[in-house]
Amino acid sequence: MEEGKPVGRRIVLGMLGLGALGTVFGRRLLDTEQAILAPVQLRDPTGLSGLVPAGAGFRFYSVTGGQPSRSAANYRLTVTGLVTRAATFTLADLAALPQTQLVRDFQCVTGWRVPKVPWTGVRLRDLLEHVGVLPTAQAVRFTSFDGEYTESLTLAQARRSDVLVATGMLGGAVTRAHGGPVRLYVAPMYGYKSLKWLGGIELTEAVTPGYWEDLGYDVDAWVGHSNGRSDEPTG
Ligand SMILES: Nc1nc2c(c(=O)[nH]1)N[C@H]1C(S)=C(S)[C@@H](COP(=O)(O)O)O[C@H]1N2
Ligand SMILES: [Mo]
């Protein structure tokens, strides 16, 4: 299969013999993400995991089974909704905003954790300040240019100093596999909040549950006190 050619999630599940999503719903809640993703990784029907450098203990996750592609030159981030000035950012526009560095763990709700990951980028709060948030806005919705994955935060969560629109991780640019050129990094929350291939940010009146949250994961995904887990906090 051609590198990065997207494979529909249903096709992947079909190839794995998992059948319809009903099978997945039948499993215990905390097994859901693993049920979909672990077989994809282990049996690798797409051949994609071989193309992904196994960076520092991260596992490659993509609900579409593929890796969408945007060159640095073609990348655009749109910020819309309840803002004073809707805006489109290029990578150069993001680089012109104040840059922040963080070193924090990354923890997936299925249990794996990567310690002390260096992250760089623009604080989401700085980006929001740049476009101006209207008083009616209470939440932020994120969309991926993979066309499927979504996430959300309350406005208060989005304004934390440890939430980044990340352009760098592990000492380099965010790679395509890890959601480059730009992904979200929500330090104090489980990995599913850290949406990859960030394409759109929308200010909304209320939180819209994201992709995994529609499948039963907690909307407030604090590491250590959500999803019935008891991990050491990351944030
Ligand atoms: N677009 C998109 N973002 C995503 C995911 C995904 O499947 N698609 N998986 C999430 C989950 S569950 C985790 S743990 C992390 C994994 O990041 P990594 O692939 O860089 O290891 O990405 C999160 N962001
Ligand atoms: Mo995850």
Looking at ligand 1, which atom is closest to the CA of residue 196?
3
Residue-by-residue DSSP string for the chain? --TT----HHHHHHHTT--SHHHHHTS-GGGHHHHHHHHHHHH-TTS-GGGS--GGG-----TTSS-----TTT--EEEEESBSS-EEE-HHHHHHSPPEEEEEEEE-TTS-EEEEEEEEEEEHHHHHHHH-B-TT--EEEEEETTSS-EEEEEHHHHTSTTEEEEEEETTEEPPTTTT-S-EEEETTB-GGGS-SSEEEEEEESS----TTGGGT--SS-BTTSSTT--PPP--
**pTM summary value:** 0.83
Q: So what's the pLDDT on residue 19?
A: 34
Closest residue by CA, ligand 1 atom 8: 62
Residue among 49, 144, 150, 196 to mutate when testing ligand 1 (max atoms within 8 A of CB): 196
Q: So what's the pLDDT on residue 57?
A: 87
53 CA → ligand 1 middle, Å = 15
Instruction: From first to last of the 235 residues of the chain, give the pLDDT tens digit.
Output: 222 333 334 333 333 333 333 333 333 444 566 555 544 444 444 445 545 555 678 988 999 999 999 999 999 999 999 999 999 999 999 999 999 999 999 999 999 999 999 999 999 999 999 999 999 999 999 999 999 999 999 999 999 999 999 999 999 999 999 999 999 999 999 999 999 999 999 999 999 999 999 999 999 999 999 999 999 999 7
| Ligand 1 neighbourhood includes 58 CB (under 6 angstroms) | yes
| Ligand 1 neighbourhood includes 180 CB (under 6 angstroms) | no
| Ligand 1 neighbourhood includes 119 CB (under 6 angstroms) | no
Q: So what's the pLDDT on residue 56?
A: 76
Closest residue by CA, ligand 1 atom 11: 192
Looking at ligand 1, which atom is closest to the CA of residue 178?
20
